[in-house]
Structure 1
Amino acid sequence: MRPSLKLVAALTPFGAGAMGVNLFFASLIASLIGSWLGWPVLTPWQAAAGGLVIGLPATYAFACHIERLKTEAEGS
């Protein structure tokens, strides 16, 4: 079932924020481990932009999950 646009819009800041934080910390860990390979560290702004890009599909998937839970709760 497709989630409503309102649900996706309400969840987007949380999904994008969570993915941005995860991306930033993954970048820090990768730089600590791979600094001898020359891997770059993302700036907070790059992590926030990447969080928006990665966060939108994740937020949509989570909104679909919420819609399934709502449908299941209405049926029981």
Structure 2
Amino acid sequence: MTSRPSFKLFACLYPFGAGAAAVNVFFAALIGSWLGWEVLTPQISVLIGAFLGVPVTWVFACHIKKLMEQADSK
């Protein structure tokens, strides 16, 4: 059974997860503008990315922890 990732691992990966989420939200808003939706400002995209970055980073940190455990068992 895979254990939960440490806070240290999560904290190291969070800036990357939040940044990736913010970029994806911003570009999704740009694509949505083709449908007539409002384009989000970069600041709003960063705030949404910071919020969405938590679960995204948690899933990625669990994956990294699983890979670390597999490497340790070999």
TM-score normalised by the chain length of structure 2? 0.94
What amino acid maps onto 1:22 in structure 2? N
Alignment-derived partner of residue 28 in structure 2: 26
Alignment-derived partner of residue 56 in structure 2: 58
**C-alpha separation between the residues in 2 aligned to 1:42 and 1:53?**
15
2:45 to 44, 47, 58: 47
Backbone CA RMSD of aligned residues: 0.6
1:8 to 2, 7, 10: 10
Alignment-derived partner of residue 66 in structure 2: 68
Q: Secondary structure at the match of 1:15?
A: helix
Deviation at 1:40, TM superposition (A): 1.2
Deviation digits for residues 15-72 of structure 1 (CA, Å, limit 9, x no counterpart): 000000000000000112x11xxx2111000000000111110001000000000000
Q: Identical aligned pairs, as a percentage?
A: 51
TM-score normalised by the chain length of structure 1? 0.92
